[in-house]
């Protein structure tokens, strides 16, 4: 009986074991996947962030899927093309040949509008061109503070303008004049710098001057300039996101226009070509301009020696005292620092003074007839 009781107990225990089996531990593959989920999510988010920061490829003119080429272009030594626009008297009849360099968010048609009468009187031939990435000129992702000067020299040689020519640069194109004065002074017969952009980090600016100029800008422009200088990899996202205001110049914010600027704004109605300006993409035009203009330069215009020590050419600097886009304080200090620069400050003018009535003729006449 005892034996049979033991058997019954044994069989009962066995039944219990079958009813409540010991759980199996999770497989190593399932456990490893669970551990890797946070890492995979992080990598996915990082990939999405990287895509947001990367600008799209430019739509290069004359290539499949790109805008058409509608005007004359010249090929540089490195294979890039510059689109250009000629006006004034015919080149072979000209006494003075002038290259005009346009500003930010502009193109070759935004040239200084010299009157036909003055062009005939002084024998003025002018040519303007699309800077790299604008209009119909090929982008130049490797552009530096110096490279544009050699593009201009290549344009002059390609158009056979002769050993010397005049330069006029406006706004961001005005900043480029310093590069030309540094790199190709032997090719220049005279230079006019109109409302030039200044880089707040150029050495030679006293802190009080750069600080005063800095706070003339709207806060959103202060941030856009900071990003261009300190975090160039963020420039595309910063200037295209919709979370907060980016560059007021890019968005055409009227708050950056002076009283006098507002009176000439109707003249922009003639810009039927405005769609061409950014047609290859904003990054290789607008953003690249900001990255170079406000980037980390290897030299400072404020430390330049006179490129014309024998007086063989003159440099004129013009700026509007009421400029809310490019603070006048920077140009004032440059003129004080560089005695070889002839400074013209316009007391009631804003940034758009080169398109006000009579100013183009005054600027050109002052440059060509330097004794007046």
Q: Could you read off the pLDDT of 128-168 as tens digits, one per residue?
A: 999 999 999 999 999 999 999 999 999 999 999 999 999 99
Tokens of 117: 């009468």
Supply the pLDDT for residue 270.
82
Supply the pLDDT for residue 33.
55
Considering the domain boundaries, does residue 12 fall inside one?
no
Supply the pLDDT for residue 22.
60
Supply the pLDDT for residue 31.
58
pLDDT in tens, 38-65: 766 656 655 556 566 689 999 999 999 9
pLDDT in tens, 222-248: 999 999 999 999 999 999 998 988 899
Considering the domain boundaries, does residue 118 fall inside one?
yes
* Low-confidence residues in the chain, pLDDT < 70: 1-35, 37, 39-53, 371-372
Considering the domain boundaries, does residue 98 fall inside one?
yes
Supply the pLDDT for residue 8.
45
Query: For position 173, which CATH number holds?
Result: 3.40.50.1820
- Cα–Cα distance between 176 and 264 in angstroms, integer? 25
Considering the domain boundaries, does residue 31 fall inside one?
no
Supply the pLDDT for residue 45.
59
Supply the pLDDT for residue 54.
87
Tokens of 72: 């004359």
Among candidates 128, 124, 88, which has minimal Cα distance to 107?
Answer: 128
- Which residues of 60-170 form beta strands (DSSP E)? 73-75, 81-88, 96-101, 124-129, 165-170
Considering the domain boundaries, does residue 283 fall inside one?
yes
Considering the domain boundaries, does residue 222 fall inside one?
yes
Half-sphere exposure of 92 (CA within 13 A, CB side): 0
Supply the pLDDT for residue 343.
98
Supply the pLDDT for residue 30.
54
The number of domains in the chain is 1
Considering the domain boundaries, does residue 3 fall inside one?
no
Range of the domain at 277: 71-366
């Amino acid at each position: 009986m005892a034996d049979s009781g033991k058997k019954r107990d044994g069989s009962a225990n066995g039944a219990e074991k079958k009813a409540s089996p010991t759980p199996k531990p999770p497989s190593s593959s399932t456990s490893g996947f669970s551990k890797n989920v946070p890492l995979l999510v992080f990598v996915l988010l990082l990939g999405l962030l990287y895509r947001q920061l990367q600008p799209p490829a430019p739509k290069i003119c004359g290539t499949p899927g790109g805008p058409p080429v509608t005007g004359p272009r010249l090929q540089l030594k490195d294979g890039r093309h510059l689109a250009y626009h000629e006006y004034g008297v015919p080149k072979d009849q000209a006494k003075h040949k002038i290259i005009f360099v346009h500003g930010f968010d502009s193109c070759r048609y935004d040239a200084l509008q010299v009157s036909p009468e003055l062009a005939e009187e002084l024998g003025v031939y002018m040519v303007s061109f699309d800077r790299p990435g604008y209009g119909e000129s090929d982008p130049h992702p490797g552009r530096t503070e110096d490279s544009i000067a050699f593009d201009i020299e290549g344009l002059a040689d390609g158009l056979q303008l002769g050993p010397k020519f005049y330069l006029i640069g406006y706004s961001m194109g005005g900043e480029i004049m310093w590069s030309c004065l540094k790199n190709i002074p032997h090719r220049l017969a005279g230079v006019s710098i109109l409302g030039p952009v200044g880089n707040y980090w150029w050495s030679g600016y006293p802190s009080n001057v750069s600080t005063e100029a800095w706070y003339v800008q709207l806060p959103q422009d202060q941030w856009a300039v900071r990003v261009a200088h300190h975090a160039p990899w963020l420039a595309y996202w910063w200037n295209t996101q919709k979370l907060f205001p980016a560059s007021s110049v890019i968005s055409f914010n009227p708050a950056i226009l002076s009283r006098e600027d507002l009176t000439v704004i109707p003249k922009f109605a003639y810009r039927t070509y405005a769609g061409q300006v950014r047609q290859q993409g904003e990054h290789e035009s607008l953003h690249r301009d900001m990255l170079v203009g406000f980037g980390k330069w290897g030299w400072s215009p404020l430390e330049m020696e006179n490129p014309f020590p024998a007086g063989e050419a003159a440099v004129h600097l013009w700026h509007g005292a009421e400029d809310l886009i490019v603070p006048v304080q920077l140009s004032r200090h440059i003129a004080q620092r560089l005695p070889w620069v002839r400074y013209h400050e316009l007391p009631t003018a804003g940034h758009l003074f080169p398109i006000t009535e009579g100013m183009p003729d005054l600027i050109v006449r002052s440059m060509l007839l330097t004794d007046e």
